[in-house]
Amino acid sequence: MTTINIAELPVAEKLRLMEALWDALSAQAEQAAVPAWHREVLAQRLQRLDGGTEPVTPWTQAKERIRAQVRAA
């Protein structure tokens, strides 16, 4: 494994690194312990989603919005 100083990376590279880390963690999701409070928050959000009161944005649009904000900074 290579050691890098994350603080010195440009924001765009930090985002790419974060996405890669998230992908790696998602592949091992079954092994992650989810705390009870997190399950409760998710259950509440699912109820709001089913009731149509939870605001949602497709991931592709959210990612583009984040990338545009990073480029503008």
Low-confidence residues in the chain, pLDDT < 70 = 1
For residue 3, the model assigns a pLDDT of 80
pLDDT value, residue 47? 96
- Can you tell me the distance from the alpha carbon of 20 to that of 61, in angstroms, rounded to the nearest whole number? 19
Distance from C-alpha of 33 to C-alpha of 36, rounded to nearest angstrom? 9
Is pTM beyond 0.85? Reply is no
Q: What ranges do the domains of the chain cover?
A: 34-73
